Structure 1
Amino acid sequence: MSYDTELLLRLYRQMVKIRIFEEKAQELFLASELPGFVHLYVGEEAIAVGVCENLRKTDFITSTHRGHGHCIAKGADIYRMMAELFGKKDGYCKGKGGSMHIADFSIGMLGANGVVGGGYNLAVGAALAGKIMKRDDVAVCFFGDGASNRGTFHEALNMAAAWKLPVLFVCENNQYASTTPYRSTTAVEDIAVRAIGYGMPSRIVDGNSVLEVYKAAKELITWIRSGNGPVLLECKTYRIKGHYVGDPELYRAKAEVEVQFANNDPIKRLAELSIKEKLVKQSQLDEVMTETISLVEQSVEKARAAQYPDVSELFDDLYAEEGVKLNA
């Protein structure tokens, strides 16, 4: 499969945008500027970008507590994301949801989710709705290796397979479920083999190669969109940062992380390959980096200056307004 300069730069730009956003979020949290908890997607950017590059605006995705990367890859506005992290009124949840609850229905982003495995049934429901309405939209459910041990994983895969729903289940196998190493709680080497129990096809890819993820997702999404039912895609990756910002990470050696990041950084890999194949110049990559840093900094300054929601708005958007009639 050949790749042109425009695509390579687009993939690079999206991954860099996620990386810079996450690094800035970490900096702000450690400086006590952000409330709540922040879970970073550093090192896993290739998965969200490789998959979402193949999606339409009308396609749906569901995310996890580590959801910033999915939001950005699907097209979310980084200012509204940053404002949400700051707890400001301009945020996606008007400052009330924080990092783990960003959603933008206008682009098909059905929400990050503080509940482990909380996105499975939302994605299946979205896919069912699309099928009933005779649309060819696809729903993508991102989840981690730890979440694959939840009961909702099996419920969702079974229903999606039984009803041939257009769902791409994307397992981001980053080797750690919170503070628990993958192999200490999971009996199988590959999550992908679990698809066999539901008569569902599956595939395993290098989750740190954005081109490999992009190619696989392109083929599978086309197959799903044609009415063939769901697929499970397992992306082997590695969680570079701790479970949350400030995690002491006593469950793994620092050297393990350093080696993984040095040898398998998805952004570095794409940059080196693009330059080696003479499809992209270093100056173009540098320009993307400079522009993205500026864009993120602007979002931070604007979010800092934005207003907090007023205390009178505390219960707004929690209940339907009196007299509003709901459709039967």
Structure 2
Amino acid sequence: MKKELKLRILELMVTARCLEERMIKMSKSADGHFWLGGPGEEAFNIPLGLLARPGRGLDYDYFHFHYRNAATMLAMGMDPRDELRQANNRATDPFSGGRNFVNHFARVEWNVCPVTSTIQTQWTVAPGTARAQKRHGGSGITIVTCGDAGTAEGDFHIGLNWATQPGQEVPVLFIVTNNRYGISTSYDQVQPVDSIAEKARGYGMQWDVIDGTDVEVSYKRLTEVMNYVRTERKPFMLEAKVSRLYGHSSSSGANRVPEGSECDPMEVWAEKLIKQKVVTRKAYLEMIEAETQRMNEYLKEIKAEPAPTAESIYDHIFKEGF
């Protein structure tokens, strides 16, 4: 990896972390009502966003995210203020007009399909956009994500089944970010296998498991896997072992886990770049301070923006003219 890319990833990791921590504080005050997100998944989610091809239409990638993909959206070019607008329920929220809670993305111009609050249903929709892409031709693929707990739902298998019908395989990259917990239930209480991705074997699908807390491993394997799906026009399941640094959501307290109990990929990456003399420790700490302050200023800015009106409650529910 080039020095510029390494530094860019660190900058995005810091932005993502400071954004999430700002929203956690919002959920514990009058500035927000709820939080759930992905601190601890940045080393995987940022390379995913950098390697994706957002745009509108079948020539670009389609995205069916879940609610821990804020770092991916930032890497794709999202303005952090848009996240804060949704967390603060502003009418200027471009994802839902202030009607949904945080990390529920939707962006037509990037092919980002609406994030749903129901768990795992995105896996039944993803093969549909992938099928349209295969019929259309080109190199666009569908990317769908979920956590390990969601794979206990039947929708997990429905998605795999639709993507692997003999002679009708579709270009979809199934991604499981495994943080080893489903709210408060541990992985080994639910799953009878060492890795979720190996279940893909039953559908004749290629699969792999990687360390999602390692930036270089994630970037390299995502590059290879996405190239496979783009060229072979077939599905692939990739499982990334990640960390959960602030619990499930604000419902479980959203408190930082004890030091050393989970790998912090941002700290690991920063230490690596400091040793390689890509960045100094002073510059890294200043980066965190600057981003923290930027998020504070952004919050002040968006709090002055309008809230949704009662008259707009049915906007975007029905197709105009239907």
TM-score (structure 2 length as normaliser): 0.91
What per-residue deviation string (whole Å, max 9, x for no partner) do you get for residues 116-175 of structure 1?
Answer: 102212322221221122131121111111111111111111221222211111111101
Give the one of 40, 62, 65 matched to 1:63: 65
Task: Classify 1:116/1:257 alpha carbon distance in 2 versus 1 (closer, same or farther; 3 Å).
Answer: farther
Tell me the SS of whatever aligns to 2:260. Answer: helix
Asked if 2 retains the 8 angstrom alpha-carbon contact of 1:204 and 1:236, the reply is yes
State the alpha-carbon separation in 2 of the partners of residues 298 and 68 from structure 1: 19
State the alpha-carbon separation in 2 of the partners of residues 24 and 256 from structure 1: 17
Aligned residues: 314
Asked if 2 retains the 8 angstrom alpha-carbon contact of 1:84 and 1:102, the reply is no
- Report the Cα offset of residue 312 of structure 1: 1.3
Give the one of 157, 161, 170 matched to 2:160: 157
Residue aligning to 2:4: 6
- Report the Cα offset of residue 245 of structure 1: 1.1
Residue aligning to 2:194: 189
State the alpha-carbon separation in 2 of the partners of residues 104 and 7 from structure 1: 26
Asked if 1 retains the 8 angstrom alpha-carbon contact of 2:49 and 2:75, the reply is yes
Task: Classify 1:80/1:256 alpha carbon distance in 2 versus 1 (closer, same or farther; 3 Å).
Answer: closer
Give the one of 232, 238, 245 matched to 1:233: 238
Q: Do structure 1's residue 40 and structure 2's residue 43 form an aligned pair?
A: no
- Report the Cα offset of residue 195 of structure 1: 0.9
Task: Classify 1:287/1:109 alpha carbon distance in 2 versus 1 (closer, same or farther; 3 Å).
Answer: farther
Matches within 5 A, 1:8-157: 8-35=6-33, 37-57=34-54, 58-92=60-94, 93-157=96-160
- Report the Cα offset of residue 229 of structure 1: 0.8
* Aligned amino acid, residue 66 of structure 2: T
Tell me the SS of whatever aligns to 2:23. Answer: helix
- Report the Cα offset of residue 73 of structure 1: 3.2
* Aligned amino acid, residue 316 of structure 2: D
Give the superposed CA RMSD: 2.1
Matches within 5 A, 1:234-253: 234-248=239-253
Asked if 1 retains the 8 angstrom alpha-carbon contact of 2:37 and 2:67, the reply is no
Residue aligning to 1:307: 306
Asked if 2 retains the 8 angstrom alpha-carbon contact of 1:165 and 1:230, the reply is yes
Gaps of 5+ in 1: none
What per-residue deviation string (whole Å, max 9, x for no partner) do you get for residues 260-303 of structure 1?
Answer: 34xx2101111111222233344553454344334323321221
* Aligned amino acid, residue 259 of structure 1: G
Tell me the SS of whatever aligns to 1:235. Answer: strand
State the alpha-carbon separation in 2 of the partners of residues 255 and 320 from structure 1: 43
Task: Classify 1:248/1:91 alpha carbon distance in 2 versus 1 (closer, same or farther; 3 Å).
Answer: closer
State the alpha-carbon separation in 2 of the partners of residues 16 and 33 from structure 1: 22
Tell me the SS of whatever aligns to 1:141. Answer: strand
- Report the Cα offset of residue 13 of structure 1: 1.5
Task: Classify 1:293/1:152 alpha carbon distance in 2 versus 1 (closer, same or farther; 3 Å).
Answer: same
Asked if 1 retains the 8 angstrom alpha-carbon contact of 2:10 and 2:270, the reply is yes
- Report the Cα offset of residue 45 of structure 1: 1.3
State the alpha-carbon separation in 1 of the partners of residues 282 and 131 from structure 2: 46
